[in-house]
């Protein structure tokens, strides 16, 4: 099967906020766009956030606008649960080979939820970073786009169970579905492959995955989100206890030669934002932020000023050396050197949040020529392969607005590519 273009088309790999933006912006100018996303829904990590800094507004508002822009624009064709196997050809005439992984649910799905009611198998929710369960057949989240259920093929018992097949009134479930190949022909390719949180377990001294009440910033977003595992109530994992004291550990991995030597740019602001989540639920909670430098550039400084005005939020300049756990209470003691006072300080809290950095996601697909990456794995913007452009956090660690600006510009570069140019 092959799809051909009218010589004005772009393939965007990655359906997060950057990829969606590049795709929609190019399509609104009139180009044909193919948007390829490996997970079952568009929206990426931004859809997993509770609020944006500094406005503290829900990302779902802008995402809904973007979903609508895609819905009403026939020039955007999207493929979810799809991977790029290889890109071949040359600028103006690339062939992108897709592998469309089986959803086991076809277009007839109406999202009525009857299948979930009968499904006996549970899986860990990747949307909630494993903090809750879904059934083997599931909708990624209640605003998922496309609003179609999918089956996790790795846990589904398929024909041995097939209860969903009988329960579905619309004949939407096809357990025999196989992966499909699809070739698309495009002028240019955009890599919007995004980022993953740094594997905090690699930071030995911070005991992530060992002490229950140490979580990462991405998990904190899910805890605070109304559609998260606790319906938005921030409680600590070991015993669902409310929070009286909490610590944020900045640069967990970032700015560290042994882990990520670069600065992840957004973690200071993310932690300050999460401090406001805690404050809005716990007016008396003590909040400690351990940092090296607070990096609130541009007008974000206003947000820093606002958070500093909270007299129960304490900023401590000092890198956290280690953490201890009380085996009885599961409380966490954060040990750091307060650089300003020169003293070693011990702060005992109910829960500690690691501000883990951003790691660029690699691309496994074979490319027609080598993409130039820097030593950290970010694609280098000035040394791009002709006709192939990287955008968003594939290029540098950046906040949402920065990614969208970049993705808008990348859309322009992508549509400049024509045969022979």
Query: Looking only at residues 330 through 349 of this chain, which bind another protein when binding is defined by CB under 8 A?
Result: 339-342
Within 272-291, which residues bind another protein (CB under 8 A)? none
Among 8, 38, 58, 95, interactor with another protein by CB under 8 A: 58
Nearer to another protein, 63 or 246 (CB): 63
Nearer to another protein, 211 or 389 (CB): 389
Q: Binding to another protein by residue 259, rule CB under 8 A? A: no
Q: Binding to another protein by residue 306, rule CB under 8 A? A: no
Nearer to another protein, 201 or 383 (CB): 383
Distance CA 142, CA 97 (A): 31
Nearer to another protein, 46 or 156 (CB): 46
Report residue 396 as tokens.
């540098």
Nearer to another protein, 17 or 351 (CB): 17
Within 27-56, which residues bind another protein (CB under 8 A)? 28-30, 50, 52, 55-56
Q: Binding to another protein by residue 92, rule CB under 8 A? A: no
DSSP state of 298: G
Select the span of 68-76, 94-102, 152-160, 195-203 touching another protein (CB under 8 A).
Answer: 68-76
DSSP state of 173: B
Among 5, 193, 265, 271, interactor with another protein by CB under 8 A: 265
Within 159-218, which residues bind another protein (CB under 8 A)? 169-170
Q: Binding to another protein by residue 147, rule CB under 8 A? A: yes
- CA distance from start to end of the chain: 28
Distance CA 79, CA 207 (A): 38
Within 109-128, which residues bind another protein (CB under 8 A)? 110-112
Asked whether the CA dihedral 61, 64, 59, 109 is positive or negative, the reply is: positive
Consecutive H or E run containing 337: strand 332-338
Burial class (CB in 10 A: 0-12, 13-18, 19+), 407: buried
Residues 6+ apart with CB under 8 A from 176: none
Nearer to another protein, 265 or 347 (CB): 265
Nearer to another protein, 320 or 351 (CB): 320
Select the span of 81-89, 235-243, 277-285, 406-414 touching another protein (CB under 8 A).
Answer: 406-414
State the number of binding residues for another protein (CB under 8 A): 88
Distance CA 187, CA 122 (A): 42
Minimum CB separation of residue 93 from another protein in Å reads 19
What's the distance, CA 266 to chain centroid? 13
Q: How many CA atoms does the CB half-sphere of 241 hold within 13 Å?
A: 15
Inter-residue contact 278 to 287 (CB < 8 Å): yes
Distance CA 368, CA 360 (A): 21
Residues 6+ apart with CB under 8 A from 160: none
Inter-residue contact 98 to 77 (CB < 8 Å): no
Q: Binding to another protein by residue 229, rule CB under 8 A? A: no
Q: Binding to another protein by residue 137, rule CB under 8 A? A: no
Among 90, 117, 242, 302, interactor with another protein by CB under 8 A: 302
């Amino acid at each position: 099967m092959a799809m051909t273009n009218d010589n004005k088309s772009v393939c965007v790999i990655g359906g997060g906020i950057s990829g969606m933006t590049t795709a929609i912006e190019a399509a609104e100018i009139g180009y044909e766009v193919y948007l390829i996303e490996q997970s079952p829904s568009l929206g990426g990590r931004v859809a997993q956030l509770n609020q944006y800094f500094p406005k503290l507004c829900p990302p779902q508002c802008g995402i809904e606008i973007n979903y609508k822009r895609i819905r009403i624009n026939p020039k955007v064709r999207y493929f979810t649960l799809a991977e790029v196997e290889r890109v071949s050809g040359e600028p103006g005439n690339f062939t992108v080979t897709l592998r469309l992984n089986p959803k086991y649910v076809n277009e007839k799905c109406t999202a009525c939820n009857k299948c979930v009611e009968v499904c006996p198998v549970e899986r860990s929710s990747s949307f909630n970073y494993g903090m809750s369960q879904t059934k083997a057949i599931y909708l990624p989240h209640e605003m998922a786009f496309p609003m179609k259920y999918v089956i996790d093929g790795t846990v589904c018992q398929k024909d041995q169970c097939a209860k969903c097949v009988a329960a579905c009134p619309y004949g939407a479930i096809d357990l025999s579905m196989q992966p499909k190949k699809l070739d698309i022909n495009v002028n240019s390719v955009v890599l919007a492959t995004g980022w993953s949180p740094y594997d905090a377990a690699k930071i030995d001294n911070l005991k992530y995955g060992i002490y229950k009440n140490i979580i990462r910033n991405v998990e904190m977003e899910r805890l605070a989100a109304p559609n998260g595992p606790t319906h938005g109530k921030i409680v600590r994992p070991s015993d669902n206890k409310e929070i009286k004291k909490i610590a944020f550990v900045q640069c967990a991995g970032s700015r560290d030669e042994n882990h990520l030597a670069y600065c992840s740019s957004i973690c200071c602001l993310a932690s300050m934002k999460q401090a406001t989540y805690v404050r809005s639920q716990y007016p008396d909670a003590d909040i400690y932020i351990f940092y090296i430098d607070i990096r609130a550039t541009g007008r974000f400084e206003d947000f820093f000023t606002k958070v500093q005005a909270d007299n129960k939020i304490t900023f401590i300049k000092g890198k956290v050396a280690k953490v201890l756990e009380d085996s009885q209470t599961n409380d966490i003691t954060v040990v750091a050197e307060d650089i300003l006072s020169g003293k070693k300080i011990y702060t005992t809290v109910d829960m500690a949040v690691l501000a883990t950095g951003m790691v660029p996601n690699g691309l496994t697909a074979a490319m027609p020529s080598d993409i130039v990456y820097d030593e950290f794995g970010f694609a280098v913007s000035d040394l791009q392969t002709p006709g192939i452009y990287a955008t968003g956090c594939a290029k540098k660690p950046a906040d949402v607005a920065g990614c969208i600006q970049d993705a808008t510009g990348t859309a322009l570069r992508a549509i400049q590519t024509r045969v022979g140019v």
